[in-house]
Amino acid sequence: MPPTDRIRDHAGQGATTVAAHRARRRLRADAARQLADLLRRQLLTDGFPDGTLPHESTLAAEYRASRNTVRQALDLLRAEGLVERLPGVGTVVVAEKYPHGLDRLMGLAETLREHGQVTNEVRTMGPVAAPAPVADRLRVPAGSDVLYIERLRRLNGLPLSLDLTYIPLDIGAALLGADLENNDVFRLLEAITGRRLGHAEITLEAVNADANSAAVLEAPRGAAVLMLERLTHLADGRPVDLEFIRFRGDRISMSGLLHRSL
Amino acid sequence: MPPTDRIRDHAGQGATTVAAHRARRRLRADAARQLADLLRRQLLTDGFPDGTLPHESTLAAEYRASRNTVRQALDLLRAEGLVERLPGVGTVVVAEKYPHGLDRLMGLAETLREHGQVTNEVRTMGPVAAPAPVADRLRVPAGSDVLYIERLRRLNGLPLSLDLTYIPLDIGAALLGADLENNDVFRLLEAITGRRLGHAEITLEAVNADANSAAVLEAPRGAAVLMLERLTHLADGRPVDLEFIRFRGDRISMSGLLHRSL
Model confidence over B68-78: pLDDT tens digits?
A: 999 999 999 99
In our burial notation (b when 16+ CB lie closer than 10 A, e otherwise), range B173-208 reads: ebbeebebeebbbbbbbbebbeeebbbbbbbbbbbb
Mean per-residue pLDDT, B55-64: 94
Interface contact B136, partner A, CB < 8 A: no
Say which of A38, A205, A244 has its CB closest to residue B226.
A205
User: pLDDT value at position A104?
Assistant: 87
Mean per-residue pLDDT, B157-180: 95
Mean per-residue pLDDT, B225-231: 97
Nearest CA to CA, how far is B102 from chain A (Å)? Answer: 7
Model confidence over B1-15: pLDDT tens digits?
A: 444 344 344 444 445
**Is A104 in a helix, a strand, or coil?**
strand
Amino acid at A258: L
User: pLDDT value at position B26?
Assistant: 62
Check pLDDT > 50 for residue B213: yes
Q: Using pLDDT thresholds of 50, 70 and 90, give the confidence band for residue A213.
A: very high
Judged by average pLDDT, the poorest of A31-40, A196-205, B230-239, B253-262 is B253-262
User: pLDDT value at position B47?
Assistant: 86
Pick the residue from chain A with its C-alpha nearest to B63.
A131
- Rounded to the nearest angstrom, the gap between the alpha carbon of residue B160 and the centroid of all alpha carbons in its chain is 9
* Cα–Cα distance, A181 to A187 (Å, whole number): 12
Check pLDDT > 80 for residue A17: no
Query: Is residue A145 within 8 Å of residue A175, measured between CB atoms?
Result: no
Nearest CA to CA, how far is A116 from chain B (Å)? Answer: 21
Pick the residue from chain A with its C-alpha nearest to B103.
A258
Test B37 with A223 for CB contact under 8 angstroms. no
Query: Is residue B115 within 8 Å of residue B101, measured between CB atoms?
Result: no
Test B204 with A253 for CB contact under 8 angstroms. yes
Interface contact A24, partner B, CB < 8 A: no
Scan residues 34-53 of B and list those with Cβ closer than 8 Å to A.
34, 37-38, 41-42, 47
Test B133 with A26 for CB contact under 8 angstroms. no
Check pLDDT > 50 for residue A3: no
Pick the residue from chain B with its C-alpha nearest to A209.
B224
Helix ranges, chain B (H): 3-44, 56-62, 67-79, 108-111, 132-138, 169-172, 185-193, 211-216
User: pLDDT value at position A11?
Assistant: 42
Beta bridge partners of B98: B252
> Would you say how long chain B is, in residues?
262
ipTM: 0.88
Share of chain A above pLDDT 70, in %: 90
* Cα–Cα distance, B140 to B175 (Å, whole number): 18
Which residues from B are below 8 Å from A204, CB to CB? 102, 204, 226, 253-255
Q: Using pLDDT thresholds of 50, 70 and 90, give the confidence band for residue A103.
A: confident
A259 closest CA partner among B45, B262, B98: B262
Which residues from A are below 8 Å from B124, CB to CB? 30
Test A226 with B205 for CB contact under 8 angstroms. yes
Q: What secondary structure letter does DSSP report for A64?
A: T
Q: What is the CA radius of gyration of chain A?
A: 25
Interface contact B254, partner A, CB < 8 A: yes
Nearest CA to CA, how far is B39 from chain A (Å)? Answer: 9
* CA separation, residue B16 to residues A124, A215, B12, B21, B23 (Å): 21, 22, 6, 8, 10
Check pLDDT > 60 for residue B192: yes
Contacts of A58 (CB under 8 A, 6+ apart): none
Interface contact A225, partner B, CB < 8 A: yes
* Cα–Cα distance, A198 to A195 (Å, whole number): 9
Give φ, ψ of A96 to 5 degrees. Answer: -125, 70
Which residues from A are below 8 Å from B212, CB to CB? 26, 29-30, 32-33
Interface contact A55, partner B, CB < 8 A: no
